[in-house]
Chains A and B, each alone.
Chain A
Amino acid sequence: MFSYYVKLAYLSCKRTWGMTLLMVCAIGLGIGASMTTITVNYLMSANPIPHKSEQLFFVQMDSWQPNNPYNDDGDAPTQLTYRDATYLWQAQKAKRQSIQSGMAAVIEPADKEVLPFMVQGRANSADFFAMFDVPFLYGTGWDHQADLKKERVIVINAELNERLFGGKDSTGQTVRMAGEDYKITGVMDRWNPKPRFYDISTGAFNDVEEVFVPFSLITEQKFSRSGNTNCWKPTESGFQAFLDSECIWVQLWVELPTEQDKDAYFSFMNAYAKEQHQYGRFARTDNNKLRDVMQWLEYAEVVSDDASMMMAMSLMFLLVCLLNTVGLLLAKFLSKASEIGVRQALGASRNDLFTQHLIESGCIGLAGGLLGLILALLGLEAIKVMYGDWIRDLAQLDLTLVAMAIGLAIVSALLAGLYPTWRACQVQPSVQLKSQ
């Protein structure tokens, strides 16, 4: 029976091809637009480290000025002062902790023919690699001792290894950076979490850095810091004064596997804030925050306003397309009244007619869904061209999204077909046959 109904649907669509084309296009455009924006939103709000996102916490301490809170909503600052971050890191109260900041330096390749070049890097402590499950092609990260002894060690990414060592295992070799030799302890495999959750301060969808060096080296002033620095209190001149200042520019992540660990760590943070309060710092001692990965990404609103606004618009656009389809299907089915009358007179039950017309709607939906999928692919390509490089990894359809697009199309078309189908089944055969 099913294939017979499909055939009937085909014949019916062929007879009114202009109308059918219009409906398929409407559904296709609606689905295409919605899927494009849904894809971007879905990938922007993805969980970048699903298996342990609930165990990793971003530490926020409110060291900001007494008069005005850092944020309009009263929340704690999004970075820490150097003194607070190093105190918490040195305490080693969590299972793992990574203190970090951005950095940049010039690398001078051993081959004098190759021009020196600039790299974007991260200054972090040893736990970074284990905490965030960084994959290694060769070797590993460094250990806690290297942090304490300020050893010149470095982890480089696969691209840089390709560029400097032709992709060979380079662990144990040295890289000349910022006028000093750094020993390679490991080569990172391809890794590019989106959002780049561990540091979203300069853009949530930036690429992972090319080099990683111990954070403790920052006090040596060999390479330059990068990222945001915010100060509220005048500081004295000089680097040591800067390190001791109330400027915030350091980030701290901690790994706390259980709820008890989290509670214990939070009490530790608050106790530290209270202690500092006695020395005249930390005007708001109860405003510290410990957010896990997803809570942090949500609070920091990594899904851009433009993206959510576009999604709202495109869903309304889909609604217009569906209203359009309902109207056209209604007109189409009602104009078939005499045919329906004949079929009823020949013994087709209301059920049969209902099934038949729903299948017709479903077929239009499927065609619209396929068209929509193609349009979504085109739309995503257009987005990549228009928005530039950072959106590259956020504009890709995966299987879930493809299934979602087709499903959305068919469900929408069936919903759109429901009322017209019901109306078609209300046709009185006698009236129709008489009027012939």
Chain B
Amino acid sequence: MLELLARLELGPMFRALMRNKIGALLIALQIALTLTIMVNAIFMMQERSQQMARASGLDETNTFYLSNTVFAQDYNLKTALQQDLQRIRQTPGVVDAIQLNAIPLSGGGWSMSLQTKAGDDIEGTGSAVYMVDEHGINALGVELIAGENFQSSDIGWREIGSTKWPAKTIITKALAEAMFEGDWKSALGKTVYIDNHQPMQITGIINTLQAPWNGWNGVERSMLVPQQLDGKGSRFFIRTEPGRRDELMPVIEKMLAESDRGRIIRNVTSMEQTRDESYQEHQATNTILLTVIIVLTLITGFGIVGLAMFSINRRTRQIGTRRALGASQWQVMRYFMLENLLISFAGVMLGAAGAVGLNIWLVATFSMSPLSPVLLVIGIVALLIVGQLAVSYPALVASKISPATATRGRA
């Protein structure tokens, strides 16, 4: 072992480094800070990417929605709604359509608290509320994994300002797990209480349906309620056959607008667009973080190149002398590569501490989760490789210095 160390010239290398402490220290510090920023930035990107990758449960590529705002006086909302839905459902290419009170991922919606026991002071579980009719499961494209869908006889009419809830509900698996200690299957058929006292029976469980708020920690908890809504503003949610959404969006908008002049059809939006808008900030932040990581690594890399070039220029004669004394080109190159490895190693060790420190601060200030150690190791290895790559060109230049340089005067 000792012999190996001696062959790698670590001793002389270390003494040489000590003579130019500041130069080495600067590179080490730079690498340390780069690692600190890089690891935390990648971690922040990962968190966002994971959030964005969560499925909404909808058939996103083939669904869109629109707002229907009635302004005419003396308007029969109930009849008009059934007519509109019928017209949309009969349009060729449409799979199904419903009136929907809130759109997943859109940022605006209803939430209620559900309790397993009735009473005023009982802790409940928050859930998003989607009011649908018996076409809801088909129109949303969600998967029913237990129980059964609503019947048309279940669907009630909810007057404005009403606080009465129907007798049945279909909930997501995540909501069932949250209320029944992780055992979602046991939830089927159970009675839960909404608004503290009103009983509702769970008649079905769906796999996934996200709430309208992507930043909410209960985003997977939703419930379907068999009701249609009174009111002059409502939304229609429409699912088309695969690939026909873009063609049908203007068709249905025009059909509805022209069929009835007492209302405005607006905000015709696809679910894909809603997802993009919902995660626009996440996406933008990730792009910026990625740019920061790339530019930072480049700057550090070029900094290493620049400093190594200077140090080699200053040591031209020494290198020539070593070559003249029998050192091979490879040995010269190895010297500079190893020197960089030594400095980088000190840098990444310091940087690892910095990364953990910054993460602790971020966790405390911005409620982020703690860093995974795997990421830290990956960051360390990546930066060591960047250092080696950066120094390889100057080292190659150094190895090409002719032994004859030793005999010439100072360049």
Contact = CB atoms under 8 A, between A and B. Distances in A.
A35 to B, nearest CB: 14
B1 interface: no
Interface string A367-396: 000000000000000010011100000000
A235 B161 CA distance: 9
Given A237-B162, A386-B287, A327 B307 contact: yes
A71 interface: no
B285 A306 contact: yes
The residue in A308, A324, A326, A332 that gathers the most chain B C-beta atoms within 10 A of its C-beta is A324
B103 to A, nearest CB: 16
Given A234-B195, A436-B410, A387 B303 contact: no
Contacts of A11: none
B30 A323 contact: yes
Interface stretch (A111-119, A282-290, A349-357): A111-119
B389 interface: no
A320 interface: yes
Q: Which of A115, A242, A320 has the most chain B CB atoms closer than 10 A to its own CB? A: A320
Contact of B303 (A26, A306, A308): A26
Main secondary structure of the interface of A (DSSP, over half): helix
Given A33-B292, A327-B26, A387-B284, A179 B71 contact: yes
Nearest to B282: A306
B410 A320 contact: no
Contacts of A330: 22-23, 26
B138 interface: no
Contacts of B161: 237-239, 241-242
A385 to B, nearest CB: 9
A309 B37 contact: no
Given A106-B264, A116-B264, A305-B366, A327 B292 contact: no
B281 interface: yes
B292 A328 contact: no
Contacts of B266: 118
Interface in B297-313: 299-300, 302-303, 306-307, 310-311, 313
A117 B264 contact: yes
B232 A435 contact: no
B172 interface: no
A323 B284 contact: no
Contacts of A199: none
A103 to B, nearest CB: 12
Contacts of B289: 313
A116 B71 contact: yes
Contacts of A234: 163, 195-197
B262 to A, nearest CB: 9
A386 B232 CA distance: 35
Contacts, number: 132
A387 B310 contact: no
Contacts of B324: none
Contacts of B410: 435-436
B11 interface: no
B314 interface: yes
A339 B302 CA distance: 26
Contacts of A9: none
Contact of B264 (A19, A118, A305): A118
A178 B233 CA distance: 12
B131 to A, nearest CB: 16
B283 interface: yes
Nearest to A177: B71
Contacts of A308: 365-366
A132 to B, nearest CB: 26
A78 to B, nearest CB: 17
B362 interface: yes
A321 B299 contact: yes
Nearest to B108: A202
Contacts of B69: 106, 118
A31 to B, nearest CB: 13
A48 B24 CA distance: 48
Nearest to A319: B33
A317 B264 contact: no
B34 A320 contact: yes
A313 B30 CA distance: 14
A326 B26 contact: yes
Contacts of A383: 284, 288
B278 to A, nearest CB: 11
B284 A29 contact: no
A310 interface: yes
B44 interface: yes
A324 B300 contact: yes
Q: Which of B40, B159, B292 has the most CB of A within 10 A?
A: B292
Given A108-B71, A235-B163, A387-B280, A324 B299 contact: yes
Interface string B100-143: 00000000000000000000010000000000000000000000
Nearest to A388: B280
B27 to A, nearest CB: 6
B276 to A, nearest CB: 10
Most chain B beta-carbon neighbours within 10 Å: one of A331, A335, A383: A331
Contacts of B71: 106, 108, 116, 178-179
B264 A331 contact: no
A308 B285 CA distance: 12
A305 B300 CA distance: 27
Contacts of A431: none
A418 to B, nearest CB: 13
B319 interface: no
Q: Which of A115, A236, A323 has the most CB of B within 10 A?
A: A323
A309 B366 contact: yes
A30 to B, nearest CB: 8
Contacts of A271: none
Interface in B261-295: 264, 266, 277, 280-281, 283-285, 287-289, 292, 295
B163 A332 contact: no
Contacts of B164: 237
B346 to A, nearest CB: 14
A137 interface: no
Nearest to A26: B299
A314 interface: yes
17 contacts: A22-B303, A29-B295, A236-B163, A305-B366, A309-B366, A317-B37, A320-B30, A320-B296, A323-B33, A324-B300, A326-B26, A330-B26, A331-B306, A331-B311, A386-B280, A388-B277, A436-B410
Interface of A: 18-19, 22, 25-26, 29, 33, 67, 104, 106, 108, 115-118, 178-179, 224, 234-239, 241-242, 305-306, 308-310, 313-314, 316-317, 319-321, 323-324, 326-328, 330-332, 334-335, 383, 386-388, 419, 423, 435-436
- In the A-B complex, the 10 residue pairs with the smallest Cβ-Cβ separation, listed nearest first, are A386-B284, A331-B310, A106-B71, A327-B26, A324-B303, A234-B195, A323-B30, A305-B366, A237-B162, A320-B33
Given A239-B161, A331-B306, A386-B287, 12 more contacts: A18-B306, A33-B295, A117-B264, A178-B71, A305-B366, A310-B288, A319-B33, A320-B33, A320-B300, A327-B27, A328-B306, A328-B307
